[in-house]
Amino acid sequence: MTDEAFGNLSLLAQAFPWFAELFGRLNSSESQWRGMVESAEPEAAPLPDKADDQLQALQRLCIVRSVRPERLLQATAAFAVSVLGSAYTRDPGVEPTAVGSDPATPVLLLHERDASAADRLARSSALRLTGRPPIVFQVADNSANTERGAKRAIQRAMAEDAWALLHCSGPATLDVMQRCADLAAGGQLQKQPQAASFRLVMTCRADCCLGSHRPPVLQAAVKIFVDMPTIFKDCVQRCWASIEQQ
């Protein structure tokens, strides 16, 4: 346990009687504390001395925040689930029919900070709606080899009635994105019937839509922003700042 984490727990014990006894037994349950503090997901790890049986969700949140402050957002989400239920925090998924997509209309997942969030959203939605993972390809540049690889991924997805998921690196890949969208729309596969569940999903940074070069796919695609709103993080931080001042 770091000195900062120990200091935070000490302050918590001084401020709240409900934690004083648990803090007093810290040395005797050091291994249990270490397991929680070093966990990849401390917000889901059990508290030492079976404290979860006695403490409320908000008290647990205070402890996790003390030992692993960088996991505040995840711990806050876990708190919301325990109090309100998972409906308020779970991934809403991508419903192509609801957002106006069809096999010929691609879905464009735009992000500014977290590309992995777009990837998780597309993968989980594909599994839920088609029962199979998407065919994934990384569009790293505008080269002919990259374009051929992307088109093979689309053709395979069409043949398997699956989703094609293309991760596009940025504005330099816009031309490949456009040609892939043309392929998905049937421009080069007019003799091949469209698979009912097939979707072309592309992830890309939001700044792709801001440059002077804007191929038609940026207008024709169904666009979904997947980043967590900055205001949510700011609100959580302000809330904790106000608690610390009291």
pTM: 0.56
**pLDDT > 80? residue 9:** yes
Residue 117: the pLDDT is 78
* Mean pLDDT comparison of 21-35, 154-168, 231-245, highest-scoring range: 154-168
Is the pLDDT higher at 91 or at 56?
A: 56
Q: What DSSP element (H or E) covers 235?
A: helix 230-245
Residue 191: the pLDDT is 44
3-state class (DSSP) for residue 28: helix
Burial class (CB in 10 A: 0-12, 13-18, 19+), 193: exposed
Confidence of residue 166 (pLDDT cuts 50, 70, 90): very high
Residue 92: the pLDDT is 56
d(CA 121, CA 165): 11
Q: What percent of the chain has pLDDT over 70?
A: 79
Mean pLDDT of the chain: 80
3-state class (DSSP) for residue 139: strand
Cβ atoms of 80 and 89 closer than 8 Å: yes
3-state class (DSSP) for residue 124: helix
Confidence of residue 164 (pLDDT cuts 50, 70, 90): very high
